[in-house]
Structure 1
Amino acid sequence: MVTDHRTTRRAVFAAALGNATEWYDFGVYSYLAVVIGAVFYPAASPAVQLIATFTTFAAAFLVRPLGGLFFGPLGDRVGRKRVLAITMITMALGTFAIGLIPSYGAIGITAPVLLLAARLVQGFSTGGEYGGATTFIAEYAPDRRRGFLASWLEFGTVSGYLAGALLVTVLTAVLDTADLHSWGWRVPFLLALPLGAVGLYLRLRLEETPVFTAAETFGHEGAHAGPAGERGTHRLRETVVGQWRPMLLCVGLVLVFNVNNYMTTSYMPTYLNAVLGYSPTHGLLMALAAMAAMLLTVALVGRLSDRVGRRPVLMSGSVCTVVLALPAFWLLQRDTSAGVLAGMLLLALTLVHFSGAAPAALPAFFPTRVRYGALAIAFNVSVALFGGTTPLVAEALVDATGSPYAPAAQLMLAGVIGIVAVSLMAESANRPLPGARATVSTRDTGGAGPDGRGR
């Protein structure tokens, strides 16, 4: 199968930009955790405010498996493009709604209840986002460049986080505490709606993936002909029961990926501020530096995974998670900007292994007919149990033990699980996706189109 290089490039750009928009929405909440705690839980102590805020943060992850169960199999039935458009606008509306919620001082207990409801909408939407976006890019990419092209999805993710962090940093720097708590914190959330409209426009212009189209053309989907409800039930059973082993491996790999991810991008600004006593602006700037370093390296790591394989890169990341966690947290506590920066860069170095290689490795666990559904379910179960709870668990561990090193132990345990998962997974670099024919690009065939003729 030959894919058009220009069409593939547009698909990667649109999926990554849409993903950036979605993760901007999701990340802004964590950057404003301290402010949100004060606005919605003013009667509690600062420590309890943070735990309450991160509990609401984690609640969104608990409904992500439901979103995966709904959107994933739907994407395997009706196509990747349509479902990704739905998740885009749903996420934007949920985030926009947070910016409109009155404070606890204005409407009492209704305020945190509405905040929770908006977060649940975000979580349900995101349940169909990452699995769909990785599937979309993987099914467009030629076999020999899948790691490089799929890594641009994480470039979009980090860009979204970075944009949110940058905006929050500017607001924190230019507004006094009263203005930030009264109206300033709402600005990033309200911007979600126009950003979501842009992402929706780009996704609606995309064509369906050639792998999914080929599967439909050659009748893979017709194997379970029957009433729509029966086909849906059969596919869900096939997804969950028939793919249980690769789903377990996917859960393990996603666990180590996302514990690293949410520790570095979501929890670290709060940790530097609330645990180590740095100013909110300082903590955000350090997080910005780490994410900027990831932007510069993630595509290089993706390209490396095409050359040496996904397993060596992911194994290196898992080992780094175990070996570098304590040194990173030791550096964070040196009470110098240089030490904090060095610690954040160590965390980013570990995370970029997964950001660069995982987007291509995860879709390769599953065949075309159930890829979106199986990946969405496994990914979101893992994120709900272990990834989204990372800031909450880290803060609770620090509060319970009094040790600023407690989050390092959390990372190390995740790294051990990652080592086991990578040891058991098969290599997928430079090979066709399961259930698909070998895929090359017109860039590699002298410009020949899908029919083999020159363009």
Structure 2
Amino acid sequence: MSVDELKASSVQTPAQVRRVVLAGGLGTLIEYYDYALYGYVATIIAPLFFPGQDPVASLLSVLLVFALSYVVRPVGGIVFGWVGDRFGRKRALLVTVVGIGLANTAVGLLPTYATVGRLAPVLLLIVRIAQGFFAGGEVGGSATVIAEAAPPGKKARYGALTPMGTNAGFAVASAAIGIVSGLLATDQLNSWGWRIPFLVGLPLTVLCYLARRMLPDIDRNVTLGRHGFPLLSALRSYPRALLQAIALGIGVQGAAYIGSTFIGIYLVTNLHYPKTAVFWITAGVTLVAVALMPLTGRLADRIGPLKVAAIGLIGYAAITYPGLLLMNVGNLGLAALGYVLIMVNMAFLQVASYTLTPQLFPDSVRYTGTALATNLSVLIAGGTAPYIATWLVSRTHDLRSPYYFVATTCVIGLVALATLWRKWRQNFLLATNTANSAS
């Protein structure tokens, strides 16, 4: 991989760059608003769609649907990667955001088990799979177009908008369910109030669609249509880059999904903190990480994204266990502090990862390579994280057992960084010198 492949911005003016970055970030916000929302209401909808005597079994069933929706994401990544690399990034990104938004709205309209019986969980699974398919082309596409639009020497600070969008989605979802749970009585929330945040996602989708319709010509300097099916070219010509991106992604997603999805469930179900307070703590903690991302983006442009990624991975491995211990003290303030200490690492790791991954591939297969690697890593370590963590706690009766999952994924991510180090250092120094000369 040569940094020369990303020198030429796909847009011409700073204003156009900002429009591309904003549209990309909004799309990932919509995507992760839905995924987070489903995780946050898991304890509420579990008995509605999977009624039974054992509440843990019902919760595991809902989380299994959550995990299964990730199985189809690589398929979506392949399909929309093909569209983006062959016919244009803009076309792919418009379709994905509409599909995600409609699927998100559909969840809020689904009948429950009490109304249609066994058809209810089937419909839930179908809608979640459809959402996973469209989501498969979203975050990888956003990272790709932002990397191509950003000027040399500023890839990470602009690239930060992708994880800022994903995590803002978590925060907005948490705030939405927090408002609803605070305004409604428990029986109202459990019977119909949980649907409201899903329906709110529709106007957010319309806003993002309009922002993307007004994008400049983001495909102007991109090589399109060189490969009939870019997946085959990526697998044949860039297998090492794919493996590196997947391994790094496993480190990112395993740690991030434990923090952003599982801990909210864990605080309510295992530690019995009040739901509304947990929703607001989750929103606040996530916004702290989002607020740090512009700073970590600038740091990555200065010292290199590999070093910043290493800070995040080592931080997760070192801090997650004591963070879980703080949560178990029985004090809500200390639980929030433990949560913050864990999630701060996300500001380092995700900014670096979404900057690194698109630059591992040439533009002719960049959308496909980025989307495929991102979705496979999410499938392996992200979508499964809440289920595995809940299962570990239920089987071992050790409230800190999810840490071992986090530590394992962090080691995999660090191995990926080690394989990238020598070549990336050469390219980073070249890119820095080029940016300094241009300024």
Correspondence for 1:24:
33
Change (3 A) 1:439 1:108: farther
Alpha-carbon separation, structure 1, partners of 2:13 and 2:53 = 57
Q: What does 1:90-109 correspond to in 2, within 5 Å?
A: 90-109=99-118
Instruction: Give the drift of 1:432.
Output: 6.1
Give the TM-score normalised by structure 2. Answer: 0.93
Deviations 1:369-410 (A, max 9, x none): 100001111111111121110000000000110100111111
Correspondence for 1:449:
none
Deviations 1:419-441 (A, max 9, x none): 111111142547669xxxx7899
Select the residue among 161, 165, 168 that pairs with 2:170: 161
Task: Kindly indicate whether residue 131 of structure 2 is the aligned counterpart of residue 136 of structure 1.
Answer: no
CA contact (8 A) 1:246 1:365 kept: yes
CA contact (8 A) 1:147 1:429 kept: no
Kindly provide the amino acid, as one letter, of the partner of residue 155 in structure 1. Answer: M
Select the residue among 287, 298, 303 that pairs with 2:298: 303
Kindly provide the amino acid, as one letter, of the partner of residue 256 in structure 2. Answer: N
Task: Kindly indicate whether residue 248 of structure 2 is the aligned counterpart of residue 253 of structure 1.
Answer: yes
Alpha-carbon separation, structure 2, partners of 1:144 and 1:407 = 38
Q: Is the deviation greater in 419-428 or in 388-397?
A: 419-428
Kindly provide the amino acid, as one letter, of the partner of residue 254 in structure 1. Answer: G
Task: Kindly indicate whether residue 94 of structure 2 is the aligned counterpart of residue 85 of structure 1.
Answer: yes
Alpha-carbon separation, structure 2, partners of 1:408 and 1:236 = 35
Deviations 1:183-215 (A, max 9, x none): 101111112222211111111111232xx4224
Question: Percent of pairs identical after alignment?
Answer: 31
Kindly provide the amino acid, as one letter, of the partner of residue 404 in structure 1. Answer: L
Alpha-carbon separation, structure 1, partners of 2:222 and 2:431 = 14
Instruction: Give the drift of 1:264.
Output: 1.1
Correspondence for 2:3:
none
Select the residue among 189, 192, 195 that pairs with 2:201: 192
Q: What does 1:240-319 correspond to in 2, within 5 Å?
A: 240-319=235-314
Alpha-carbon separation, structure 2, partners of 1:307 and 1:383 = 28
Instruction: Give the drift of 1:282.
Output: 2.3
Kindly provide the amino acid, as one letter, of the partner of residue 337 in structure 2. Answer: A
Aligned length: 425
Deviations 1:12-70 (A, max 9, x none): 11211222122212221111110110211122421111101100100110100111111
Alpha-carbon separation, structure 2, partners of 1:277 and 1:164 = 21
Q: CA-atom RMSD, angstroms?
A: 1.9
Change (3 A) 1:237 1:333: same
Task: Kindly indicate whether residue 345 of structure 2 is the aligned counterpart of residue 350 of structure 1.
Answer: yes
CA contact (8 A) 2:184 2:193 kept: yes
CA contact (8 A) 1:21 1:196 kept: yes
CA contact (8 A) 2:311 2:349 kept: no
Task: Kindly indicate whether residue 136 of structure 2 is the aligned counterpart of residue 127 of structure 1.
Answer: yes
Give the TM-score normalised by structure 1. Answer: 0.90
Alpha-carbon separation, structure 1, partners of 2:121 and 2:431 = 48
Kindly provide the amino acid, as one letter, of the partner of residue 71 in structure 1. Answer: F
Correspondence for 2:408:
413
Instruction: Give the drift of 1:132.
Output: 0.3
CA contact (8 A) 2:155 2:355 kept: yes
Unaligned runs of 5+ in 2: 1-7
Correspondence for 1:334:
329
Task: Kindly indicate whether residue 83 of structure 2 is the aligned counterpart of residue 55 of structure 1.
Answer: no
Select the residue among 67, 72, 92 that pairs with 2:81: 72
Alpha-carbon separation, structure 2, partners of 1:332 and 1:58 = 25
Select the residue among 163, 185, 188 that pairs with 1:176: 185
Unaligned runs of 5+ in 1: 225-230, 446-455
Task: Kindly indicate whether residue 109 of structure 2 is the aligned counterpart of residue 114 of structure 1.
Answer: no
Change (3 A) 1:423 1:97: same
CA contact (8 A) 1:65 1:381 kept: yes
Kindly provide the amino acid, as one letter, of the partner of residue 267 in structure 1. Answer: F
Kindly provide the amino acid, as one letter, of the partner of residue 353 in structure 1. Answer: F
Alpha-carbon separation, structure 1, partners of 2:59 and 2:287 = 26
CA contact (8 A) 1:144 1:431 kept: no
Instruction: Give the drift of 1:354.
Output: 1.3
Kindly provide the amino acid, as one letter, of the partner of residue 167 in structure 1. Answer: A
Correspondence for 1:388:
383
CA contact (8 A) 1:59 1:120 kept: yes
3-state SS in 1 of match to 2:221 = helix
Kindly provide the amino acid, as one letter, of the partner of residue 19 in structure 2. Answer: R
Change (3 A) 1:439 1:312: closer
Correspondence for 2:4:
none
Alpha-carbon separation, structure 2, partners of 1:175 and 1:258 = 33
Task: Kindly indicate whether residue 191 of structure 2 is the aligned counterpart of residue 213 of structure 1.
Answer: no
Correspondence for 1:448:
none
CA contact (8 A) 2:172 2:283 kept: no
Deviations 1:99-119 (A, max 9, x none): 111111011010010000000
Kindly provide the amino acid, as one letter, of the partner of residue 253 in structure 2. Answer: N
